[in-house]
Amino acid sequence: MGIVRVVDVSAEGAGLRAAIEATAERYTGVEDEDFLRGMPMLAALLPEHLVLALRRLMLEESAPVTVVRGFPVPEDLAPTPLHWRAADPAATLVPDLYLMLLGSVLGEPFGWRTLQEGRLVSSVLPIPGGEQEQTGHSSDVCLEFHGEDAFHDMRCDYLGLLCLRNPDRTPTTVGAVDLSRLPESDAAILSQPRFRLWADDELRRNSATLTGDEAATDWTGERVVRVLFGHPRAPYLRIDPAYMRGSDEPAASALRRLAERLGESLVDVVLEPGDACLIDNYRAVHGRKPFTARYDGTDRWLRRVMVTRDLRKSRALRASAPSRVIL
C-alpha cells in the first residue's frame, strides 16, 4: 500500500507565510481563545489544494501519511533550546500557527497535562540525559515505531509534525500495512483484549508531579487493550511495541508477527525546515532514526500538534468545555 502522499506548497509558500505573519499580529499565541475559535475561518489562508489533500487524509483513508513541503520557516529562527521549557513561544509563533491551521482542517488540536504542561504545540528535540530513552527527546537510539499515546483511550486521531531544523537530515520513519490481509487467526487474537500496555517513560514521569484534579488519568498502571478495533474488514490499529506485551503466548506471537510486518513496511521521511508531516494515528506508526545531538543550538527541532476528530468525547477529563487540555 502507498503510505505517503506529498503535497508541495512552494509556489504559495512566501504568500502563505506573509498572510500568517499578518495574522500573528492579532493573537498572543496559539492558545489565544480568539485564535482557537477562529481556526476554521483562518484555515482559508491555506491553499485550496492543500486543504483538499488533508480532507482526503481524513475522509478517504487511503495513504495514511501526508507530507506538506514548501513552507518557508523564518531565516532568523532561534537556536534549538536544550529543553522544551526553554523554548520561547514567540520565536516559533508563525510556524506554530501554520501547524495549528493544518491540524484544524483535520479536527481539533488538544494537549495533555502530562506532556509539556499541556502546551497545544510542543517541541520534539534532544534533551541532555535522555539520549537513550524511548521518547521524542532521545537521540542516540532509534525511536522505535509506535502509535502516538497508544496507552490512552483519548489519544489523537492525527499527529502533526513540523520541522524547524534538521541539519543531519535525520529521517522520521513511518509505516503501515493492510490490516485486512492479516491471517484470520492473528486478526482474531489481535481484536481481543489480550494485550497489556503501559504509558511511555516521559508521561509516567510527568504524571508523578500531578495531584488532585490535575491527575484525572492514571498513567502509572497498565491497561488491557485490543490491538485491532473498528470495522473487521478495515480495522484500526493501537500499538506501541516498546511498552506493550501479549497477556499469553498466542497473543504475544500474534503481536510479534504484526510488529514484524510493520517494521518491514517502514519508510524514511526526511523532513526539511518548513516540511510538515500529518499522520493518521489509527492507521500508521512512526518513529525516528538515531542521530548525534550536539547541544549547541543547531540540533534537530520539530514542533508537534495532536488532533482529535471529537473533542467532546474527552470532556470528563478536561477542566472545562473550552479547555483543550486532557488531565
Please write the tens of the pLDDT for every residue from 136-177.
999 999 999 999 999 999 999 999 999 999 999 999 999 999
One-letter identity of residue 173: T
pLDDT the model gives residue 75: 83
**Is 214 assigned a ligand-binding role in the annotation?**
no
Q: Average per-residue pLDDT in the chain?
A: 94
Please write the tens of the pLDDT for every residue from 25-43.
999 999 999 999 999 999 9
pLDDT the model gives residue 56: 97
pLDDT category at 219 given cuts 50, 70, 90 is: low
pLDDT the model gives residue 321: 96
Q: What is the per-residue DSSP string for 71-134?
A: PPPPTTPPPPPSSGGG--GGGGHHHHHHHHHHHHHHSEEEEETTSGGG-SEEEE---TT-TTSS
pLDDT the model gives residue 74: 86
**Is 146 assigned a ligand-binding role in the annotation?**
yes
Residue 203 neighbours by CB under 8 Å, 6+ apart: 112, 114, 115, 149, 151, 219
Q: Considering only CA atoms, which of 156, 91, 92, 83 is closest in space to residue 117?
A: 83
From CA 67, how far away is CA 171, in angstroms rounded?
13
pTM: 0.94
One-letter identity of residue 111: G
Please write the tens of the pLDDT for every residue from 34-73.
999 999 999 999 999 999 999 999 999 989 999 999 999 9
From CA 145, how far away is CA 123, in angstroms rounded?
19
Residue 215 has pLDDT above 60, yes or no: no
From CA 322, how far away is CA 108, in angstroms rounded?
11
Please write the tens of the pLDDT for every residue from 243-273.
999 999 999 999 999 999 999 999 999 999 9
Domain 4-177+268-326 CATH assignment equals 3.60.130.10: yes
Residue 208 has pLDDT above 90, yes or no: no
The helix-helix angle for 93-106 and 10-24 (nearest 10°) equals: 110
**Is 61 assigned a ligand-binding role in the annotation?**
no
* Grid coordinates given for 65: 501519511
CB 55 within 8 A of CB 107: no
H or E, element range at 163: strand 158-165
From CA 327, how far away is CA 324, in angstroms rounded?
10
In Å, how far are 60, 137, 199 from 204, measured between CA atoms?
35, 15, 6
In Å, how far are 50, 82, 121, 165, 325 from 70, measured between CA atoms?
11, 27, 20, 14, 30
Q: Where are the domains of the chain?
A: 4-177+268-326
pLDDT category at 210 given cuts 50, 70, 90 is: low
